[in-house]
Chain A
Amino acid sequence: MKQNSKRVNDVILQTAAIIIFFIIVIFSIDLFFAGHYSPGGGFIGGLMTSAALVLLLLAFDSKTLANVLPIDYRLMTASGLLIALLTGLHSVFLGRPFLTHAYGKFDLPLLGEQTLHTAIAFDLGVYLVVIGITLTIIQTIGESE
């Protein structure tokens, strides 16, 4: 098949893609966690992670990606939405207005004492929704003939 004969020549691209993929993912996670104090956040972090996945899609094909990461991106979108909404709802159960955020200091193993804020959970929701939506769009367009 044409696809196979083409793939033989992709050694440089594929090798580079594997290395670059991890750098991009680490950068995107850094952007995601940096959001509270410096530019970044859930949206741009999510876009960057999906860009890394798109790079894998370009270097390999959608079947390989589905084998490596067997994720249903529609469910990912749904769980992102659920996390964001539940973050908003948790304050309702505590008798405060909807979307009131809370924070506290926690003594985490390895990381020491850290301040955690529920805004990060909301951001995690955004992050998952962005990845889910982007890859659903790309996969749907890519697979329809």
Chain B
Amino acid sequence: MINLPVFPIVIPALAAIIMMFMPKRVQLQRVMALGALVITAIVSLFLVHTVSTEGIQTLNLGNWQAPFGITLVSDMLSALLVTTSTLLTLFIVWFAVHYFSDSYEGNYLYISMLFLLVGVNGAFTTGDIFNLFVFFEVFLMSSYVLIVLGGRGVQLRESIKYLLVNIIASALFVMSVALLYGVTGTLNLADLAMKIPLVDNPDVITVIGVMFVIVFGMKGALVPLHYWLPGAYVVAPTPILAMFGALLTKVGVYSILRTYTLLFDGNGEFLQTFLMVLAVLTIFIGMTGAIAYNDVKLIIIYNIMIAVGVILYGISVNTQTSLEGSLYYLIHDMIIKAVLFMLVGMMIGITKSGQLRDMGGLITRFPLFGWTFFVAALSLAGIPPLSGFFGKLLIVSGGMDEGELFGPLLVLLSSLFVLYSVMKIFLNGFWGEAKREYDGPLVPYTKRLIIPVFLLLIIAVAYGFGAEAIHPYITQAIEPLVNPEIYIDAVIKE
């Protein structure tokens, strides 16, 4: 099947379009969305298998040869990320089916969620920088709809900020692409990677590199471009927040990983230092936020920033080991953030308050819920052998090998802060005395809501315990990042 790379993009799109014909038939929409996601997940697992046995899959859309048409490139990196995001969307939609009311679901909810997945999968798969921009817009448009759906006052306020920031970032993206096109005359990533070393003024490339870091940093919430993140995410309803927290910032991180290793690698020192400084700042501000707040959503939101900083630190060190660590941590973080957001969303739904001082004693009434949160918290902090451990270990040892000391120490220190912040939620929220009778609207659904979260956590735990089995895939995913020639040869066949 030469068309295999396009299916994870087309199947959700087709399902979403068909669902647009009957926006009010909620029951049918649920079935169709879940069915489409299951099929997409199976196809993307098959894609991972194909890439692992037959190497990088490329597809020239419209049968135009590589630098002239749009090429979709599924190497192991994008195949793994496509699989992860599809699985996450599947579990989040499953959660949303029980979480939302019928009237809420009737407003194109699942259609927007599927289009968001279309954009994310497309951004992971594309091999063309302008096409990357288009897929960014696809998932951003869907995220605008999802963030404002419900129409509460705070949602309106924060969605205006979110929209403004992202429109500015998108305009900057177009300008960076224009500059890059002006210098090199091509838009295909593989072709760009060949042309950029030939540019006789490397400083221009460094400037473009910095512009791309700023653009993707705005999407991925790097300090000092993170200011929109806490407010925008805290107003979104739980399943939407889980989707945003797990997928959106990570697309920015993926784009930095791809463009930095493929395009700007040779323009070395300055960009590397620039990325490293941003990464360290991001970890630092994330740590500060994570311990400062008593609002459970905000604590996890600042944990996103820590994770983005840690992954970016691994990217900026740019050795085989640290990149492996970054990828391992990226996938772990996508899964575990979705789990945690759904869990804290349930806490808020049951206690009807986001503040830790109003919670307490949840574990006596909801033991499975409590212990799920406990394991997820340990996994987030990176207690071996849970899934957060190996990524951080590889990042730290990669940094050490390069003679860095400050970065690896900060990464280790950040783990401590992460552990403190989530244990604060566990100790104050689940232990102790119940502050009041819990009989919120979510309580009857708690048993049904916990199933998708629990299954997702099992995947995360299996990912940690099966690190040895996953390692060959991670190594294969890193190969084209360390040796861009592999990527270029796969796309541009002589």
- Residue ranges of A at the interface with B (Cβ–Cβ < 8 Å): 74-75, 77-79, 81-82, 85, 88-89, 92, 95-101
Tell me, rounded to whole Å, the shortest Cβ–Cβ distance linking B138 to chain A.
Answer: 12
19 new A-B contacts, CB < 8 A, other than A77-B20, A78-B17, A98-B61, are: A74-B20, A74-B23, A75-B20, A81-B17, A81-B20, A85-B10, A85-B13, A89-B10, A89-B14, A92-B3, A96-B63, A97-B60, A97-B62, A97-B63, A98-B10, A98-B59, A98-B62, A99-B61, A100-B63
Chain A's nearest CB lies how many Å from the CB of B93? 20
Q: Is B470 an interface residue (CB 8 A)?
A: no
- In the complex, chain B residues whose CB is within 8 Å of the CB of A81: 17, 20
- What are 13 contact pairs spanning A and B, CB under 8 A? A75-B20, A75-B21, A81-B17, A81-B20, A82-B17, A82-B18, A85-B10, A85-B14, A85-B17, A97-B3, A97-B62, A98-B3, A99-B61
A74 to B106, CA, bound (A): 14
Residues of B near A78 (CB, < 8 A) are: 17, 20-21
Assuming the contacts A85-B10, A85-B13, A85-B14, asked whether A97 and B20 have C-beta atoms less than 8 A apart, the reply is no
Q: How far is the CB of B352 from chain A (nearest CB, A)?
A: 32
Among the interface residues A85, A97, A99, which one has the most CB atoms of the partner chain B within 10 A? A97
B180 touches A (CB below 8 Å): no
Closest to B16 in A: A81
CA distance A78 to B6 in the complex (A): 21
| Docked CA distance A75–B19 (Å) | 10
When C-beta atoms are compared, the residue in chain B nearest to A78 turns out to be B20
Which residue numbers of B lie inside 8 Å of A, CB to CB?
A: 2-3, 6, 10, 13-14, 17-18, 20-21, 23, 59-63
Chain A residues, Cβ within 8 Å of B3: 92, 97-98
Tell me, rounded to whole Å, the shortest Cβ–Cβ distance linking A37 to chain B: 19
Q: Which residue of A lies closest to B59 (CB)?
A: A97
Chain B nearest Cβ from A74, distance in angstroms = 7
Do B17 and A99 touch (CB < 8 A)? no
A90 to B52, CA, bound (A): 28
Q: Please measure, in the bound complex, the distance between the C-alpha atom of A75 and the C-alpha atom of B17, giving whole angstroms.
A: 10
CB neighbours (8 Å) of B13 from chain A are: 85
A97–B63 Cα distance when bound, in Å, is 6
The CA of A48 and the CA of B267, in the complex, are separated in Å by 48
Q: Which residues of B contact A74 (CB under 8 A)?
A: 20, 23
Task: Give the Cβ gap from A105 to chain B, nearest Cβ, in Å.
Answer: 20
Q: Which 10 A-B pairs have the closest CB atoms?
A: A78-B20, A98-B6, A99-B62, A100-B63, A81-B17, A99-B61, A92-B3, A82-B17, A97-B63, A100-B62
How long is the Cα–Cα vector from A92 to B61 in the complex, in angstroms? 11
Measured CB to CB, the closest approach of chain B to A73, in angstroms, equals: 12
Q: Across the interface, name the chain B residue whose C-beta is closest to A88.
A: B10
Give the one of B6, B17, B20, B61 with max A CB within 10 A. Answer: B17
User: What are the residues of chain B within 8 A of A101 when measuring CB–CB?
Assistant: 62
In the complex the two chains form, what is the Cα distance from A9 to B21 in whole Å? 40
C-alpha spacing A92/B448, complex, angstroms? 39
Q: What residues of B have a CB within 8 angstroms of the CB of A100 in the complex?
A: 61-63
Q: How many whole Å from A82's CB to the nearest CB in chain B?
A: 5
Docked pose: A95 CA to B95 CA in angstroms: 37
Bound complex: CA of A66 vs CA of B404, how far in Å?
Answer: 69
From residue B182, how far is it (CB to closest CB) to chain A in Å? 25
Nearest CB on B from A139, distance (A): 16
> CB-nearest residue of chain B relative to A98?
B6
List of B residues within 8 angstroms of A98 by Cβ = 3, 6, 10, 59, 61-62
- 8 Å CB contact of A97 from B2, B10, B23: B2
Contacts of A82 in B (CB 8 A): 17-18
Inter-chain CA distance A44–B17, complex, in Å, is: 23
With CB as the reference atom, state the residue of chain A lying closest to B71: A97
> Shortest Cβ distance from B4 into chain A, in angstroms?
10
Q: Which residues from chain A contact B63 at a C-beta distance below 8 Å?
A: 96-97, 100
Determine the distance from Cα of A13 to Cα of B59 in the docked complex, in whole angstroms: 54
Measured CB to CB, the closest approach of chain A to B25, in angstroms, equals: 13
Closest to B70 in A: A99
* Whole-angstrom CA separation of A79 from B62 in the bound complex: 22
What is the CB-to-nearest-CB distance from B135 to chain A, in angstroms, rounded to a whole number? 15
Interface centre among A75, A96, A98 (most CB of B within 10 A): A98
Task: Report how far A85 CA is from B59 CA in the complex, Å.
Answer: 17
